Structure 1
Amino acid sequence: MMSTVARNKSRFGVANIILAISIGILIIVVAVPVLLIFINSFWVDGKFNVSDVLRILSEPETYEALLNSLFIAAGVTVMSTCIGTFFAWLVTRTDLPYKGFMKVMFLVPFMLPSFIGALAWKMLLSPRAGYINRFFMDNFGLEDALFNIYSYGGIMAVETMYLFPFVFIQVCGALERMDPTLEESARISGASLLTITRKITIPLVMPSIISGALLIMLYSMAHFGTVAVLGVENGIFNIPTLIYERIHQSGGSFEAIRTGTVLATVLVISAACIIWLQNRILNKGRFQIIAGKSFRPVEVKLRGLRKPLLVICLLYIAFTIVLPTATIFLVGGLRTYGLPMTMENLTMANYKFILFDWQLTQDAIRNSILLGLAAAVITMFAGVMISYVIVKMRVRGKGFLEFLGMLPFSVPGSVIALGVILAWSGKFGINLYNTVWIILVAYIARYMAFSLKANSAALEQVHDSLVEAARACGASMWQSLRDIVLPLVKPGMVAAFFLIFLPALRELTVSVMLYGPSTRTIGVAIYTLNEDGETVYSAALAGIALIIIVAGQTLIRRYTNTKK
């Protein structure tokens, strides 16, 4: 009897410790920075002040940036949704050749940083120096450039290339699970392929289409890199780039930070509305598309359209993936930007200089790797602990914990960065500004949701009876967690590690707001080198970043396949 009471007390004590630490981590890392955004926006000298907020929002630059954000996000969402849905239908429901290869290639943009893609298209389609424009002007006698990438259309096109996988992934999953008897019945009744697609297939997968589309809108509204590379030079700002410009140009003045917090509040409210709308559609717009038996979807015979559609897919892959990637590596190898891409003009000296001789880029690579490793390890273990509270413990308020953990995923990176600046620049006696630590704190907040998702899924598979059996045999709560739970959730922890480490390596939106003279990351170094006119070195560093990212993705796949 006494041993049972002791075990219960021990379990209660451990549970409370885990709960208290979990709450503390999320409040310090997530809740305080986000809360300070709202406080700084609406309170001045301890008084509620709406007039300043309205004044800032009514300024011409602010108003224009808001409209630009909405306009660009709307255009990217429409184009990405159409492209993603079309390619998802092709690779899942038709007899298109090489579908497996196509599916893998259409997911590649999901892994690559879009701001590096924007950098590549800037090299190809800038009005005067772009290689494609120069080719047409030199060979066809054109006085004006054929394309202008520094435009709304250019920004939308580049973002679409890298964001359409959000819809592609969701629609592929829905189409693969859909009961084909609905379409077969319509076909037997004499309906044409177009009628079946329009009246049956698309309505059934509409929740997945809309879910992916809203994710694209959320991401595009908060996106910094593409607009910074292609828009700012032509006076096109969205909300994140305007926040950066105001704070960067003023040296972090109070007025600039206040303007930034007001704009960040707009982003938070927009994100909340989009997520609310997404949940409402998914909850109320569910359709029964999965039958209670296994089945293989019937393939639509493309007949004479097989080869033309295959050519379209290959051209799209070549144009959106191969061409910009090859451009990055080739420009990175040029002796001087602007020279023709011939063998005598190419050299490996730029890559050697960046990796072994230039302190700036060496520091950037080292900072990114160390920050990525530190953020991944800390967030991985913190995520396991918080996930354990959410999944396994019966305590009040764990829903609030889950909300806090997932909040940074739905909040734009520029908001997280601004909140961290407000929280850790001396306000509470701790000043981390212009140090590597403030970037680390922001990364932990930014990627906590990734760790929670991966570890929660792993913990769901661990039955409570295993821990109860260990406790019945006399093991303490700590021993049960260490010897049973942690080994069983190790695959989820490893997945969480890579899900955090790789995005942290290529991160730009948060880092560009927080870096100091000696704390540049790879993303920041690529961006600032490009801004300073060091195009060749910027491209070379971008090429090295792509190699690191692809190598990391290969390791993830190998590890995942081995575990399966």
Structure 2
Amino acid sequence: MASAIKKNEGFGAAQLILALSIGILVVVVAVPVLLIFLNAFWADGKFNVQDVLRVLSEPDTYQALMNSLIIAVGTTIGSTVVGTFFAWLVTRTDLPYKRFMKGMFLVPFMLPSFIGALAWKMLLSPRAGYINRFFMDTFGFEEPLFNIYSFTGIILVEIMYLFPFVFIQVCGALERMDPTLEESARISGAGLFTITRKITIPLVMPSILSGALLIMLYSMAHFGTVAVLGIENGIFNIPTLIYERIHQSAGSFASIRTGTVLASVLVFSAALILWLQNKILGKGRYQIIAGKSFRPMELKLRGLRYPLLAFCLAYIGFTIVLPTVVIFLVGGLTTYGLPFTAEHLSLNNYKFILFDYQVTRDAIVNSVTLGLAAALITMSAGVMISYVIVKMRVRGKGILEFLGMLPFSVPGSVIALGVILAWSGKLGINLYNTVWIILVAYIARYMAFSIKANSAALEQVHDSLVEAARACGASMGQALRDIVLPLVRPGMFAAFFLIFLPALRELTVSIMLYSPTTRTIGVAIYTLNEDGETVMSAALAGIALILIVSGQLFINRLTRKKAGR
């Protein structure tokens, strides 16, 4: 009898947690995304494809679609080549200082690409860029050396910040790969480049393609770089056109409808890309990881060791150090365009940004507050949802898993537009122009991060621990509080920072939802730059970089401490 009561109690608790979890995800994720499709394809009470085709055939929207495709394809090809090459260098060759190089190649992963775009605008804008001015003044060039306001400029900047997607994937595959095939080829007389071209690259091709598709997904939906470098020259992609239409028309019906059509295109593109990725990874064409541990074979670079080391250092200096230094230097100038000399540099702008300028002070407070709130809420909800997905045997949890991972495949501009449709009075609640609408959007966007981190932690907690506690008379709540939560605390901690740090630098969602009093750091940097306040924009960007890098170093230190235990 007691056993039956416990089963019924457990069943009721499971169903309650499942219902609550689905309710959270339906309200936060499903409803906004559903409203986008209803707005795009449903008009006057009926299914309407004609209006969708009309919107897509308009010159501006058609051009934005083509621009998105051009930028995404160029970025994907370039990032794949760069990421694969550097991954091969640091994992399979005797390149000096490989550990340091690997760490440096991961740095762009934590830096906001729109801040990088801002730095390259300061360096390579046609007339005012410091590099272009140097060559024009020193060598008498009549034309700028390079115009950053171009497709080529946008693609090159995106490559600098997106290649780690491929780099991480390929490094992992190469480090775990059975090296016997390469060793056999070497014994047979094959050279370094023959082995790499005919054996190594084909074996890790699934990882290369997987990383490449992630880059395409990200680039198609990327707002920051195109907004900073493209709009000035009339180059719009889908997210920047959505932003431009909605903000220029103050959210009119026509602009919202255009936005929902374009957002639907992004969703379909993301779905196609993720389907292709699953097909590639699901084929299992190449089995490169065996059951026993291998030490990867190091290929000898011989005379190329130090030239390639110099090339790597030059790449790091040019793509990471130079733009970062320029951001801090420009942030210290009294007026943009002055030379970087002691008489023109000071910390006054940084003091003004932090203590005197209300707009930037509010932006920093808003970003930190929103980041903390979103991280705490999604971390807590993510634990509950992950527990249902990983540990409970109840019907309907497949729906929960789908809803939980949906934001991971939906671009940020789509989430923002869906939140506008859902929480601007249509459902009886109006959060528009308040900080709450940004918080709801952050929760929707980052929920998948929390679910992934907490699911990984819960997978390591054996079911027998909870069963033993229940057998000893503990309720489900007591078992979760006293056993499960302490064991998954590291996963919760990881989920918190996986959300807090990206929220600090977020731009794509915030730029669609902010009001004059709810600017975030990313929005303030972008709007200051658009208003011509270049030195203030750079100073705030420098402060943002310090916050982000400090947070990342803090996480790395704690992670190493936990690993050491």
Query: What is the TM-score with the length of structure 2 in the denominator?
Result: 0.99
**Where does residue 103 of structure 2 map in the other structure?**
104
Q: Which residue pairs with 2:524 in the alignment?
A: 525
In structure 1, distance between residues paired with 2:291 and 2:4: 47
- 1:470 is matched with 469
Letter in 1 for 2:400: L
TM superposition shift of 1:224: 0.2
Matches within 5 A, 1:1-150: 1=1, 3-150=2-149
Q: Is the 2:177–2:294 Cα contact (8 Å) retained in structure 1?
A: no
* Aligned counterparts of 1:10 and 1:282: Cα–Cα separation in 2: 41
Cα deviation, 1:285-325, whole Å, max 9, x if unaligned, reads: 44111122212111001010001000000000000000000
- Which secondary structure state, in structure 1, belongs to the residue aligned with residue 360 of structure 2? helix
2:257 is matched by which residue type in structure 1? R
Q: How many residues align?
A: 563
Q: Is the 8 A contact 2:213 2:273 kept in 1?
A: yes
CA distance in 1 between counterparts of 2:539 and 2:285 reads 47
Matching of residue 179 in structure 1 with residue 168 in structure 2: no
Match of 2:298 in 1: 299
Task: Report Cα offsets for 1:114-146 as digits up to 9, x if no partner.
Answer: 000000000000000000000001100111111
Distance in 2 (CA, whole Å) between partners of 1:377 and 1:438 is 16
Counterpart mapping for 1:174-253 below 5 A: 174-253=173-252
Residue 549 of structure 1 deviates from its aligned partner by: 0.2
1:453-480 Cα offsets, whole Å, 9 max, x none, are 1000000000111011111111111000
Q: Does 1:276 align with 2:263?
A: no
CA distance in 2: counterparts of 1:530 and 1:367, whole angstroms: 19
In the alignment, the residues of structure 2 paired with residue 365 and residue 119 of structure 1 have an alpha-carbon distance, to the nearest angstrom, of 19
CA deviation profile, 1:243-272 (whole Å, cap 9, x unmatched) = 000001000001000000000000000000
> Corresponding residue for 2:481?
482
Equivalent positions of 1:372-521 (< 5 A) are 372-521=371-520
1:261 corresponding residue in structure 2: 260
Q: Which residue number corresponds to residue 151 of structure 1? A: 150
Deviation at 1:397, TM superposition (A): 2.0
In the aligned structure 1, how far is the partner of 2:386 from the partner of 2:284?
29
Give the distance between the partners of 1:48 and 1:298, measured in 2 at CA: 60
Say whether 1:319 aligns with 2:315. Answer: no
Alpha-carbon offset, residue 195 of structure 1: 1.7
State the 1:432 CA deviation.
Answer: 0.3
Structure 1 runs of 4+ with >6 Å offset: none
CA distance in 2, matches of 1:292, 1:469: 33
Mapped to 2, the partners of 1:243 and 1:48 lie a distance apart of 22
Q: Which runs of 5+ in 1 are unaligned?
A: none
Question: For the residues of structure 1 that align with 2:292 and 2:465, how far apart are their CA atoms?
Answer: 32
In structure 1, distance between residues paired with 2:458 and 2:162: 31
CA distance in 1, matches of 2:52, 2:349: 48
Q: Take 2:427 and 2:285, find their aligned partners in 1: how far apart are those partners?
A: 47
The code of the aligned residue for 1:74 comes to V
Are 2:431 and 2:437, in contact at CA under 8 Å, matched by a contact in 1? yes
Decide whether the 8 Å contact of 2:408 with 2:445 is kept in 1: yes
C-alpha distance in structure 1 between counterparts of 2:63 and 2:128, whole Å? 28
Counterpart CA distance in 2 for 1:554 and 1:400 is 37
Paired residue type of 1:333: G
1:5 Cα offset (Å): 2.3
8 A Cα contact 2:149 2:232, kept in partner = yes
What CA deviation, in whole Å up to 9, does each residue of 1:42-67 have, x standing for no partner?
Answer: 11121111111111000000000000
Aligned partners of 2:32 and 2:421 also within 8 Å:
yes
Kept in 1: contact 2:511–2:523 (CA 8 A):
yes
CA–CA distance in structure 2, aligned partners of residues 34 and 42 of structure 1: 13
Counterpart of 2:38 in structure 1: which amino acid? I
Give the Cα–Cα distance (whole angstroms) in 2 for the partners of residues 320 and 147 of structure 1.
Answer: 16
Quote the Cα distance in structure 2 between the aligned partners of 1:321 and 1:95: 24
Query: In structure 2, what is the Cα distance between the partners aligned to 1:116 and 1:519?
Result: 20
Name the CA distance, whole Å, in 1 between partners of 2:296 and 2:11.
Answer: 51
Gaps of 5+ in 2: none
**1:547 alignment counterpart:** 546
1:367-400 C-alpha deviation (Å, 9 max, x unpaired) = 0000000000000000000000000001122122
What residue number does 1:355 align with? 354
Bigger shift: residues 284-293 or 152-161: 284-293
For 1:365, the equivalent position in structure 2 comes to 364
- Residue-by-residue CA offset, 1:422-447 (whole Å, 9 max, x unaligned): 00000110000010000000000000
For the Cα contact (< 8 Å) 2:82–2:163, is it kept in 1?
yes
d(CA) in 2 for partners of 1:554, 1:379 = 22
Question: How far apart in 1 are the matches of 2:219 and 2:117?
Answer: 14
Q: CA deviation at 1:514?
A: 0.3
CA shift for structure 1 position 9: 2.1
Decide whether the 8 Å contact of 2:416 with 2:441 is kept in 1: yes
The residue number in structure 1 matching 2:559 is 560
Distance 1:437 1:292 in 2: 50
How far apart, CA to CA, are the structure 2 residues paired with 1:373 and 1:292? 42
- Report percent identity of matched pairs: 82
Counterpart code for 2:262 = L
SS at match of 2:106: helix
Does the 8 Å CA contact 2:83/2:167 hold for their aligned counterparts? Answer: yes
1:335 partnered with 2:334: yes
Does the CA-based 8 Å contact 2:14-2:394 persist in structure 1? no
Deviation (angstroms), 1:6: 2.3
2-structure distance, mates of 1:194, 1:364: 51
RMSD over equivalenced CA pairs, Å: 0.7
